[in-house]
Structure 1
Amino acid sequence: MEKRDLPIPQNESERLLHLSSFDIDYTSLNDNLKDLNRLAAKVAGTEISLINLIDAYTQWTVGAHGLDLQQMTREESVCQYTIMSDQAFEVPDLSADERFNKNFYVDDPLSLRYYFGLPLNDNGINIGALCVLDTTLKSLSPEKVELLKIIADEIVNRIKVYHTMEAMQQRLSTADQANKKVAHDIRGPLAGIIGLSEMISQQGNSANLNEVLEFIKMIHTGSRSLLDLADEILSNDEQQRPIRENELNLITLKDKLLQLYLPQATYKNIKLDIAINEQNKHVIFSKQKILQVLGNLISNAVKFTPSQGAINVLMDIITGENENLLDITVTDTGVGIEHSRIQQLLSGQGESTKGTSEEKGYGFGLQLVKHLIDKLGGKLAITSETGKGSKFHVQLPQKRS
């Protein structure tokens, strides 16, 4: 089957939005899912089991047993067919199926033959697939298939629990910020009380008003204790405290992006360079949707940049009194975008085109980016010249901790 015939679910836009709502860091789930991976392989009697999530460009393996795999292009994957319906998808022999027999996993050293996949379905939307694979031909009994369905349901439950925990951590972080604001707000009145009590104390000394002095001393002591407590809360240096799971700084964001997307660029012989402003590298900000936005922009740049091209990502934090701005520019030396299509993209529309290596587009990557940036209250600017590359400039507001 040629690349132009690759399968796209009818609800693809809704599917990608639903997947993005989980805001998943694709490097973070393996430890939470490895027991289910082992169980799936045990039930099926196969060498390999994988848990795959499929976004606009990439199949991400977020849980693996028997095979060290992190990602592959969506068009190479078998699971892209599994997410087309709510039924199981089986390939008895990958080497005999023209849709897959030219892909790397069929050749040595993997030499995979058997595939069986079940969609990971949440509220009627397939976000990915649980699959089991083997180097020998197999068949699964109905009883085994039913057990695998139970495991697939539990995988979705685990992902939802993980997302809920992340959301709870975010709310706790917000509460912590609120506490600091309260502490800041009470410092002024407390300082005023202390100043007033000191003045009355001085007057009391001259008037020899012992009872007033004792009363004022109590006010002064209590107010000083409260002021010290407020100072203790405020003195917790936000730049030096440990980064929580739902947070990033420029250093950790750079590391994650290289871990996730350098393999894609290297595979296509493209130089990917990510630079950060060293002066602001420790400023902490929310991880919410950041990897989703940048991941789609970098994957899109890889798709439309030819071999031996370059992609440059520049990241900075613009600090403000009440709000910071995460400032990111993604520049590529790709084929460029026509002005009319830029306007379509900025309006959340636009159709997909083929990449520089004839990669088939699925049509929703940049639409998703625009949607997420709008939801985050950010800004997206695109400049491009046909044949000379494109530049995507993103600014996302971040509340100061």
Structure 2
Amino acid sequence: MNSVESILGKIIMMLKDSIKTINEYQRAKKLNDLDLDYANLQDEFERLVKLAKYITDTDISYVNLIDNYSQWTITSSASGPFQVDREDSICQFTIQGEGIQELPILDQDKRFSDNPFVKRDKLKYYLGIPLKVSTGENIGALCVLDQSEKNISLEKKRLLQLIADEIVEKLEHKKKLDQLEDQLASAIKERYQMAHDIRSPLGGILGLTSTIEEENMDADESKAYFKLINSSVSKLMELTDDILDKRQKLGDKNQFDLSSLKAHLEELYLIPASNKDIALDVSFDKTKNQYKFSRRKLLPIIGNLIANAIKFTPSKGSVAVKLDIMEMDKRVFLTVKVSDNGIGMSKEKLKELTNDALGLNPGTNGEKGYGLGLQLVAEMVNSIDGKLNVVSEKDKGTTMDVTVPI
């Protein structure tokens, strides 16, 4: 009987672990689907974070967005967002629950008493509220912390919940706005083509009328007639130029070139790499910087690859990111190669790339594997008709190539 109970117990534990893994995958996927540029969120949420700090009269207030490996923090100061390893996050426990998590004696909680941030800042109090999106996943948390013990009232907690709801609403509206802008860009692209189609003949007419106008014609009526044509054509030219200008401005807002993509990646990942004493080098072919391409899904895709490389590369190691543009079969592609000299993977492990268990491997510094990152990357790459290729050798490193049409 005990043997049967033991087997049943193991089965139940396996089912729970499987459900937890699936839930974490869906949660991380939902955050990636928002397609956020963490470097540009500070201005949008700084005031709300300050409001949370003011309401609770606490030392610190944060908005924390938690992906596979990292916690991206937006503060109440203008210093900009910063990143910490997920295993050092307190909010990672908040997102696993359904409601407010309050830790009135944070420094005495066994889970956090040795936390580097709790020890460094001598923190004693924590209160976190999950950031739950409309489909039910917790993508992060709004939290306040203090160096003294606090007693925050139920009314103030309700106000914090309103702020958390407002943050989620802004993020989801941002996603909807991005989708509308994509639709608008498509419509403007059609207008752009129309403008080009009519601009050439109009330019020819304008040049012809200008030539006729410069000649000494006897008939004043003819001159007046051609002046009218000249004026009309000039207005049409202004209209087509306006269409082209609107298209260019909208495109610039939602597009990268190789140099701006490099700058974004360095802003987000140089510090996480240096914290682990890893050399991160991002390079690109400067002769191809004239190409523009949509930023959609690029940061989540490349970010997951870089975070994965950092995780599985030991201190004093290196991660190289090469950005390039190539033309093939009359199409243009963005290529991203992320290479590391980390612990690599065996042939057997490579075959498990689609397994949930892959993301549960610890990193070289014992980082916990909330990964499932490669699965998410593969799904996102497929969604934009791209290709992902992984080459790895145990103890010799890994190279991941992404090719996406632009």
Shorter-normalised TM range: 0.7 to 0.9
Matches of residues 230-245 of structure 1 in structure 2 within 5 Å?
Answer: 232=241, 244-245=252-253
1:271, distance to aligned residue in structure 2 (A): 0.4
Any stretches of 5+ residues in structure 1 without a counterpart? 202-209
Q: For 1:234-272, what per-residue CA distance to the aligned partner results, in whole angstroms no more than 9, with x for missing partners?
A: 986999x79733221111111111111111110111100
- The one-letter amino acid of 1:277's match is D
1:307 to 315, 327, 332: 315
1:279 to 287, 291, 303: 287
Contact kept? 1:193, 1:223, Cα under 8 Å: no
Identity %: 38
CA gap 1:277/1:348 in 2 versus in 1, 3 angstroms: farther
Q: Distance in 2 between matches of 1:104 and 1:28?
A: 27
Q: For 1:277-310, what per-residue CA distance to the aligned partner results, in whole angstroms no more than 9, with x for missing partners?
A: 1112242211101110011000000000011111
- Matched with 1:381 is 389
CA gap 1:31/1:192 in 2 versus in 1, 3 angstroms: closer
- Which SS does the other structure have where 1:138 is aligned? coil
TM-score of the superposed pair, with normalisation by structure 2: 0.82
- Which SS does the other structure have where 1:107 is aligned? helix
2:341 to 327, 333, 336: 333
- Which SS does the other structure have where 1:106 is aligned? helix
- Matched with 2:56 is 44
- The one-letter amino acid of 1:355's match is G
1:102 to 114, 118, 132: 114
Contact kept? 2:42, 2:81, Cα under 8 Å: no
Q: Is 1:351 aligned with 2:363? A: no
Q: For 1:344-388, what per-residue CA distance to the aligned partner results, in whole angstroms no more than 9, with x for missing partners?
A: 32x575522111111110141111111100001111111111110
Q: Is 1:118 aligned with 2:129? A: yes
Contact kept? 1:79, 1:128, Cα under 8 Å: yes
CA gap 1:192/1:348 in 2 versus in 1, 3 angstroms: farther
1:183, distance to aligned residue in structure 2 (A): 2.7
Q: Distance in 1 between matches of 2:188 and 2:332?
A: 17
1:324, distance to aligned residue in structure 2 (A): 2.7
- Which SS does the other structure have where 2:129 is aligned? strand
1:70, distance to aligned residue in structure 2 (A): 1.2
Contact kept? 1:61, 1:69, Cα under 8 Å: yes
- Matched with 1:34 is 46
1:360 to 356, 368, 372: 368
The 4+ residue runs of structure 1 with deviation greater than 6 A are 188-194, 216-224, 233-239
Q: Looking at secondary structure, tell me which structure has more helix per residue.
A: 2
- The alignment's C-alpha RMSD in Å is 3.5
Q: Is 1:261 aligned with 2:269? A: yes
Q: Distance in 2 between matches of 1:181 and 1:348?
A: 46
Alignment size in residue pairs: 376
Q: For 1:89-120, what per-residue CA distance to the aligned partner results, in whole angstroms no more than 9, with x for missing partners?
A: 12222221221122221223x22221100000
- Matched with 2:25 is 13
- Which SS does the other structure have where 2:46 is aligned? helix
Contact kept? 1:48, 1:67, Cα under 8 Å: no
Any stretches of 5+ residues in structure 2 without a counterpart? 1-16, 213-218
